[in-house]
Amino acid sequence: MDIELARELAVANDTKIVLFVMDGLGGLPHPDTGRTELESAYTPHMDIIARGAACGFTVPVGPGITPGSGPGHLALFGYDPLRFNIGRGVLEAAGIDFDLQAADVAARGNFCTIDKAGRITDRRAGRIATERCAELTAGLQSIALDGAGLFVEPVREHRFVLVLRPDGRASAGGGQLSADVADTDPQAEGAAPLPPRASAAGGEATAKLVARFVEQAQRYLADKSPANMLLLRGFAKRPDWPSMADVFKLRAAAIACYPMYRGLAKLVGMEALPVGPALADSIATLRENWARYDFFFVHYKYTDSAGEDGDFDRKVAKLEEADSSINALLELGPDVLMIAGDHSTPATMGAHSWHPVPFMLKSRWTRADECDMFGETALQRGSLGAFPAVEALPLALAHAGRLKKYGA
Amino acid sequence: MDIELARELAVANDTKIVLFVMDGLGGLPHPDTGRTELESAYTPHMDIIARGAACGFTVPVGPGITPGSGPGHLALFGYDPLRFNIGRGVLEAAGIDFDLQAADVAARGNFCTIDKAGRITDRRAGRIATERCAELTAGLQSIALDGAGLFVEPVREHRFVLVLRPDGRASAGGGQLSADVADTDPQAEGAAPLPPRASAAGGEATAKLVARFVEQAQRYLADKSPANMLLLRGFAKRPDWPSMADVFKLRAAAIACYPMYRGLAKLVGMEALPVGPALADSIATLRENWARYDFFFVHYKYTDSAGEDGDFDRKVAKLEEADSSINALLELGPDVLMIAGDHSTPATMGAHSWHPVPFMLKSRWTRADECDMFGETALQRGSLGAFPAVEALPLALAHAGRLKKYGA
């Protein structure tokens, strides 16, 4: 269902929908046992749900497409990730909870190391400590540009965000900033950083501002080691997307402790609630805010981290940990509970992958599937099959009585 | 995944992908046994693969749509056959390896028989011998038109190709030829051939050229028997499509002995390798060229021919023959092997059909499906379900590590 049709059909009521996302949920068989992480984990609570739920797999973006965290989540929020595309700069700014304004231009930054000839020897400056990153960004913050204000905010290790904000003066070309600035990051070591250039007509004035920033930054960084230069990429403006309240008639809250997911949730108008890092913290926050929202996105990061590290056993343990919280979640009595993932992160690959992601939806209005457990093999017998992740939210709305009939 | 996104995400690496197409693969149950051709065939090698592959069915064009050879193959090559539509004239020219130029207009021709009143008595002139067809086309080749050069090339039996090529003079309307010329074939016996007319504005000058050709051809054929007239249809220009190298970053080779499939492969930029008619020839060609390409389309025609002839047992035998070559194919060590068909040709129907086509994909990154054999009933338990054939290639690219992550 596209956003326009959803806006036409969605109605408010007093039901509660919970979307529980285990990041990187899907896996691949362990070579010794033939069982995936989820099939190896002892997950009795999820297995019981599977016996009475609508089961299947979400396809995050499309067959064969490995999604990043942005597209993987936007799809589960009901936003087609091929249409609602988000620039890297905005994603990074969202990821540190930076309050990006509509006129701002944001870019992702890397501190890097260059040699005397100006060639990049390490694109990540040895992954400097986050504290060091914060010292350097504080230094860069004092750069003054004629034509725009600027913010240089540390992210993590060598990563930072640069935000340019129009200062109202005309010198940057009518005071407006453009995101049409090409990356300065050549994405290769041995090459020199690229000079900031417009990537399309209209980007020239902003590219000049960026060039002046880079010039001064390079002077400031020259005697710092190993981070003696910076690279910028993914210049982007904040997208002006319709909110979940507007489209789906949902008062939506995000319960996620990682800044990236909070930022993504805010881009679609969710309230990002303060929450601690443990799953118990998430459940407590959910309970405290139960009356105030209709839709809760609960994010569990550690399954993905384990998968990315190629640690099959830790991913299994994290899945078991998640399972042990399911009853506390059910006790709140959601009308619809979706158990989902934003993408697969098979430990055998140690990376995000394109494989469809285990999914189930529990409500009083589901048919009985022939799935006796929540695992990749059993779910192949599910009634939902492998379906586009962007359809999960409309399905939840339907099961919550929140979609009007289409046509007479 | 559309072509534009594929171009953005595809990257080159040193993996090998093999697409083995058994033409007309899919079937229907034999009325006596309830088993399809594929289920009746003893195919131990494919059955073993099925146990460790991602299994399902391809839907060549759309539900209920029976594809011709063109759309069926284009979909497997990753080109949406509803978007990448190919005129009959071009398909015929491709089918005889005719080197069609961008400015040419091609049409499919039939020699036919007309009575004294000018009405068609046999649209195929009794399916005259191919040798006779070649004599007649040689005669027609001497027709001279003011405004275009022409080629009249025999195909098979009563079929030939007419190609008009601009001669650079202005008389055909600025020297350009148009494909907007209506069929002269009324597709019915008892009717007279239709006079060549423009089918859209801009086609008038070319329609006049065609009319002059038909007039002279009719004079030449008047005393020939039974082929004393001709019919033309499917006027078309060569499409200007992006190549598989451009879009998918694949050095692609076709191993197909039938001209039609070679022609189709060349339209998407594949190299059509010389090969003999037996499957052993195909395997030998594959082996010899293994190092030179990334993607191999191996075409096996005889399953379709048997199906078209309504010969259930011969189709079973041809499937068994194909199966016996699978190990030689696996021995080359492809990173991804797809076993597929361009469409179904159930022997009980004796024709192409719309039924989804058995498909499996073997790579080290597939989940374990619950399919214990390669056959229509078992494949219904496959994880891929029935999916658009155009998604098969992106899926193969993903399994070969040839697609970048989408979004951050």
DSSP character string of A314-352: HHHHHHHHHHHTHHHHHHT--SEEEEE-SSB--TTTTS-
Q: What separation in angstroms does the CA of A52 have from each of A45, A362, A382, B320?
A: 12, 7, 11, 43
Question: To the nearest whole percent, how much of chain A has pLDDT over 90?
Answer: 88
Confidence of residue A96 (pLDDT cuts 50, 70, 90): confident
Mean pLDDT for all residues in chain B: 94
Distance from CA of A70 to the nearest CA of B (A): 6
- Helix axes A44-51 and A312-324, enclosed angle (nearest 10): 70
Is the four-CA dihedral A168, A173, A179, A182 of positive or negative sign?
Answer: negative
pLDDT at residue number B229: 97
Decide if B380 touches A, using CB distance below 8 A. Answer: no
Class of domain A3-86+241-399: alpha beta
| DSSP SS3 for B319 | helix
Contact A356 B381 (CB under 8 A): no
pLDDT at A193 over 70: yes
Of A44-53, A90-99, A397-406, B74-83, least confident by mean pLDDT is A90-99
pLDDT at B174 over 70: no
Cα–Cα dist B107/B335, whole Å: 41
Q: Where in chain A is the domain with CATH 3.40.720.10?
A: 3-86+241-399
Decide if B356 touches A, using CB distance below 8 A. Answer: no
Tokens 């499409």, located at residue: B239
Buried b (16+ CB within 10 A) or exposed e, A282-295: bbebbeeeeeebbb
Beta strand spans in B197-330 (E): 229-236, 252-255, 271-272, 295-300
Taking contacts as CB-CB distances below 8 angstroms, the residues of chain B near A64 are 1, 391, 394-399, 403
DSSP code of residue A385: E
Mean pLDDT of B173-188: 87
Q: What separation in angstroms does the CA of B248 have from each of B12, B86, B252, B359, B404?
A: 8, 20, 10, 21, 12
Confidence of residue A40 (pLDDT cuts 50, 70, 90): very high
Across A94-103, B95-104, B151-160, the highest mean pLDDT is recorded for B151-160
| DSSP SS3 for B390 | helix
Residue type, A58: T
Q: What separation in angstroms does the CA of A191 have from each of A121, A122, A226, B217?
A: 8, 10, 17, 66
Is the four-CA dihedral A329, A330, A335, A338 of positive or negative sign?
Answer: positive
Q: How big is chain A, counted in residues?
A: 408
Which position has the higher pLDDT, A251 or A176?
A: A251
Cβ-nearest to A352 among B385, B399, B405:
B405
Cα–Cα dist B218/A404, whole Å: 65
How many CB pairs (< 8 A) connect A and B? 89
Decide if B9 touches A, using CB distance below 8 A. Answer: yes
Q: What is the largest CA-CA distance in chain B?
A: 73
Asked if A371 contacts A38 with a C-beta cutoff of 8 angstroms, the reply is no
HEC secondary structure over B197-234: CECCCCCHHHHHHHHHHHHHHHHHHCCCCCCCEEEEEE
Taking contacts as CB-CB distances below 8 angstroms, the residues of chain B near A82 are 5
Tens of pLDDT along A348-365? 999 999 999 999 999 999
Asked if A144 contacts A166 with a C-beta cutoff of 8 angstroms, the reply is no
Contact A64 B383 (CB under 8 A): no
Task: Report the CATH architecture of B7-84+241-399.
Answer: 3-Layer(aba) Sandwich (3.40)
Burial of residue A84, with CB atoms counted within 10 A of its CB: 0-12 exposed, 13-18 middle, 19 or more buried:
buried
Decide if B383 touches A, using CB distance below 8 A. Answer: yes
pLDDT at B87 over 90: no
Decide if A259 touches B, using CB distance below 8 A. Answer: no
Residue type, B373: M
Tokens standing for residue B56: 């399902």
- Helices then strands, each counted (H, E), chain B: 14, 13
Contact A66 B370 (CB under 8 A): no
| DSSP SS3 for B273 | coil
Phi, then psi, of A73 in degrees rounded to 5: -80, -45
Q: Cβ of B190: how many Cβ atoms within 10 Å?
A: 9
Cα–Cα dist A352/A27, whole Å: 10
Of the candidates A236, A239, A173, A184, the one whose C-alpha atom is nearest the C-alpha of residue A210 is A184
Taking contacts as CB-CB distances below 8 angstroms, the residues of chain A near B404 are 66
Phi, then psi, of A259 in degrees rounded to 5: -55, -40
pLDDT at B70 over 60: yes
Confidence of residue A267 (pLDDT cuts 50, 70, 90): very high
Give the dihedral of Cα atoms B320, B322, B326, B327; nearest 10 deg. Answer: 60
Here the ipTM equals 0.87
Confidence of residue B97 (pLDDT cuts 50, 70, 90): confident
- Helices then strands, each counted (H, E), chain A: 14, 13
Asked if A256 contacts A265 with a C-beta cutoff of 8 angstroms, the reply is yes
pLDDT at residue number A156: 86
pLDDT at residue number B170: 54
Of A186-195, A241-250, A289-298, B280-289, least confident by mean pLDDT is A186-195
Contact A354 B398 (CB under 8 A): yes
Which position has the higher pLDDT, A255 or B187?
A: A255
Confidence of residue A172 (pLDDT cuts 50, 70, 90): very low
Decide if B395 touches A, using CB distance below 8 A. Answer: yes
Residue type, A179: A
Cα–Cα dist A35/A375, whole Å: 9
Residue of chain B with shortest Cα separation from A346: B365
Cα–Cα dist A305/A174, whole Å: 45
Tens of pLDDT along B125-160? 998 999 999 999 999 999 999 889 999 999 988 999
Cα–Cα dist B107/B179, whole Å: 9
pLDDT at residue number B172: 45
Cα–Cα dist B358/B378, whole Å: 10
Cβ-nearest to A68 among B381, B383, B406:
B406
Asked if A162 contacts A106 with a C-beta cutoff of 8 angstroms, the reply is yes
Residue of chain B with shortest Cα separation from A30: B367
Confidence of residue A402 (pLDDT cuts 50, 70, 90): very high
Asked if B107 contacts B160 with a C-beta cutoff of 8 angstroms, the reply is no
Tens of pLDDT along B264-276? 999 999 999 999 9
Mean pLDDT of A376-390: 95
| DSSP SS3 for B20 | strand
pLDDT at A170 over 60: no
pLDDT at residue number A259: 83
Taking contacts as CB-CB distances below 8 angstroms, the residues of chain B near A377 are 367-368, 370
pLDDT at residue number B315: 98
| Residue A186 neighbours by CB under 8 Å, 6+ apart | A120, A192, A193, A194, A231
Tokens standing for residue A37: 């992480």
Confidence of residue B336 (pLDDT cuts 50, 70, 90): very high
Mean pLDDT for all residues in chain A: 94
pLDDT at B175 over 80: no
Tokens standing for residue A286: 């959910």
Of the candidates A351, A367, A356, A362, the one whose C-alpha atom is nearest the C-alpha of residue A389 is A356
pLDDT at A299 over 80: yes
